[in-house]
């Protein structure tokens, strides 16, 4: 079982099956970037990022997912030094507090594909690595995570954020995403990462058309045989905008709520969302129906 310093909440570990049987967990998005698709530039200053971290926790986030590089379609890669410059002060401020805000003990995941960022973030007080590449972009990621002894979320993607939307030709999107994640789980275990430290994410919207994202949401249960907690990130994404004819991501809260409720019904364990207060209520009602029936 994982042991975290202080009173940080334990989610994964030997007791994870019982934990995830009881309720859905919320991962609150904290993008400290100037160019993320939904909230780029809103929290790229230390004071606004710290205020948002406290707001997300107050609203009910179980984890804070801090990202220093946009992974929206067409996004360019960010240099290591720049990603560290964006992410590290925020993690440190969350853990140390400020003159106006107390330290937070909430679990922190770091949304990165770079092993050096992962290592520095864990040293600064983060707990989990969330790698949108399934730990394929940086060959040092899996050995680094194994050495650190921390959990990792492995997500499916094709190509890079810049090229992924040209790589949506699947014969069977559910089977092909499953096979990729199965191989990445095997690779993680082969590098010494315990199976109990691995979560998976089918990558809604990443190298997926709107129709393919919906197909994955309908078949979340197909990923259960991998034996890992399943993270789903539908928040404000373009497939919702496509359905609603809503080009503004910040006006997709109700669509996100519907996607989250159905994700829970189909077996999601963790939801990565921007609008934590609203999705907390969605989770409470959906959990009462699905998990406590």
* List of domains in the chain: 25-290 (3.20.20.20)
CA 156, chain centre distance (Å)? 12
pLDDT means per 10 residues in the chain (293 residues)? 43 60 93 65 80 95 92 77 94 91 94 97 96 97 97 95 92 98 98 96 96 98 97 96 95 97 98 97 97 74
Respond yes or no: is residue 224 known to be catalytic.
Answer: no
Q: What pLDDT does 267 receive? A: 97
Contact indicator for 264, 279 with CB cutoff of 8 Å: no
Residue 50, SS3 per DSSP: helix
Q: Of the listed 114, 208, 272, 280, which one is catalytic?
A: 272
The residue annotated as part of the active site, out of 208, 237, 252, 280, is 237
Angle separating helix axes 173-190 and 141-148, nearest 10 degrees? 50
Residue 239, exposed/middle/buried by CB under 10 A (0-12, 13-18, 19+)?
buried
User: Beta-carbon neighbour count of residue 18 at 10 Å?
Assistant: 8
- List the beta bridge partners of residue 238: none
Closest to 130 measured CA to CA, from 208, 205, 233: 233
Q: Looking at residue 6, what is its pLDDT?
A: 42
Q: How many residues does the chain have?
A: 293
pLDDT at residue 212, rounded to an integer: 98
Q: How far apart are CA 130 and CA 112, in angstroms?
A: 6
Alpha carbon separation from 33 to 42, 133, 136 (Å, rounded): 8, 18, 22
State residue 205's pLDDT score: 94
The yes-or-no answer on residue 55 being catalytic is: no
């Amino acid at each position: 079982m994982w042991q975290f310093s202080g009173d940080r909440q334990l989610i994964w570990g030997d007791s994870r099956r019982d934990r995830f049987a009881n309720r859905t967990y919320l991962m609150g998005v904290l993008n400290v970037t100037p160019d993320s698709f939904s909230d780029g530039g809103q929290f790229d200053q230390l004071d606004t990022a710290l205020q948002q971290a406290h707001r997300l926790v107050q609203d009910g986030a179980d984890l804070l997912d801090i990202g220093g590089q946009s992974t929206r379609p067409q996004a360019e890669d960010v240099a290591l030094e720049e990603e560290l410059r964006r992410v590290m002060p925020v993690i440190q401020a969350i853990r140390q507090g400020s003159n106006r805000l107390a330290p937070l003990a909430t679990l922190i995941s770091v949304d990165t594909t770079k092993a050096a960022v992962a290592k520095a973030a864990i040293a600064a007080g983060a707990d989990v690595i969330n790698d949108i590449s399934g730990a394929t972009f940086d060959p040092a990621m899996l050995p680094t995570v194994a050495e650190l002894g921390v959990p990792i979320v492995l997500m499916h993607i094709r190509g890079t954020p810049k090229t992924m939307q040209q790589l949506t030709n699947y014969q069977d999107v559910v089977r092909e995403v499953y096979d990729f994640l199965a191989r990445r789980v095997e690779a993680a275990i082969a590098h010494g990462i315990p199976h109990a430290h691995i979560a998976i994410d089918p990558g809604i919207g990443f190298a997926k058309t709107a129709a393919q994202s919906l197909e994955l949401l309908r078949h979340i249960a197909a990923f259960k045989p991998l034996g890992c907690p399943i993270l789903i990130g539908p928040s404000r994404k373009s497939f919702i905008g496509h359905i609603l004819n809503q080009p503004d991501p910040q006006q997709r809260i109700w669509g996100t709520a519907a996607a989250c409720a159905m994700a829970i019904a189909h077996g999601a364990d963790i939801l990565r969302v921007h609008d934590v207060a609203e999705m907390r209520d969605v989770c409470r009602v959906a959990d009462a129906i699905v998990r406590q029936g």
